């Protein structure tokens, strides 16, 4: 229960959104996917968003609530490349595929796609394979803008956000009663 309450403390109460060609402050729960918002230093991000433009030299975000990273993370509008394995791109989760490096076909010298160790079929990349801390072009609900100003388009709201999914998982886990908890509840009822 306490963890769920703590997560709710990270929710933004309002957002600066584009409405009828003007920026207006609205309640964060009125945002919908496709809305254009502006965030600046000190703002809590009101929804999961894709960065469109950065209006400062740098945009950094404290996303420790989501990723556990100790410092602020630099963001960019660059497209995230799931096949990249360098500091500018994204590193795929090692637990998903053992080897994701491309191999060369010795006859044609053309790269062949990475193969899944489970099915031995070519890997199809998707956003689910990219961990949140590697999504450098995304802002996540509940995180804090530590420097800069940017414009972003809302991609997810409410329980569809990354933090919303964590919250939902915690609620589901809390609702599942273990045999010990059932016995303790019965014992408590007998005492009262």
pLDDT in tens, 139-190: 999 999 999 999 999 999 988 888 888 777 776 666 667 778 778 888 888 8
Give the pLDDT confidence score for residue 84 in this predicted structure. Answer: 54
- Into how many domains does the chain fold? 2
Same domain, 12 and 74: yes
| Residue 116 and residue 141 in one domain | no
Within the chain, strands assigned E span: 14-19, 22-27, 36-40, 48-54, 59-62, 73-75, 103-104, 111-112, 138-139, 144-147, 149-156
Pair of tokens at residue 33? 């996917």
What would the pLDDT profile of 117-132 be if each residue is shown by its tens digit? 556 665 555 455 555 6
Q: In this predicted model, which residue has the larger pLDDT, 182 or 93?
A: 182
Domain, as residue range, for 182: 2-79+133-191
What is the pTM assigned to this prediction?
A: 0.64
Q: Could you tell me if 118 and 186 lie in one domain?
A: no
DSSP 120: -
Q: Supply angle C-alpha 63, 168, 77, rounded to 5.
A: 35
Q: Based on the domain organization, do 186 and 155 belong to the same domain?
A: yes
Same-domain status, 174 and 145: yes
Residue 26 and residue 116 share a domain: no
Torsion of CA 85, 87, 89, 90, to 10 degrees: 60
Whether residue 96 is predicted with pLDDT greater than 70 in this model: the reply is no
């Amino acid at each position: 229960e306490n963890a769920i309450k703590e997560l709710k403390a990270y929710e933004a109460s309002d957002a600066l959104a584009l409405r009828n060609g003007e920026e207006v402050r609205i309640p964060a729960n009125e945002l919908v996917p496709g809305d254009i918002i502006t965030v600046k230093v000190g703002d809590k991000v009101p929804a999961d968003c894709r960065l469109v433009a950065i209006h400062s030299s740098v945009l950094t975000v404290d996303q420790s609530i989501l990723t556990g990273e100790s410092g602020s993370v630099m963001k960019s509008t660059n497209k995230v490349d799931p096949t990249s394995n360098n500091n500018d791109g994204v590193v795929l989760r090692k637990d998903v595929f053992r080897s994701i490096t491309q191999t060369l076909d010795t006859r044609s010298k053309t790269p062949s796609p990475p193969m899944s160790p489970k099915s031995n079929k070519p890997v199809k990349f998707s956003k689910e394979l990219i961990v949140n801390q590697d999504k450098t072009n995304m802002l996540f609900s509940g995180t804090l803008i530590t420097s800069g100003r940017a414009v972003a388009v809302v991609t997810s709201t409410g329980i569809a956000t990354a933090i919303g999914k964590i919250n939902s998982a915690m609620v589901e886990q809390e609702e599942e009663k273990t045999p010990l908890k059932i016995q303790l509840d019965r014992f408590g009822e007998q005492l009262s």
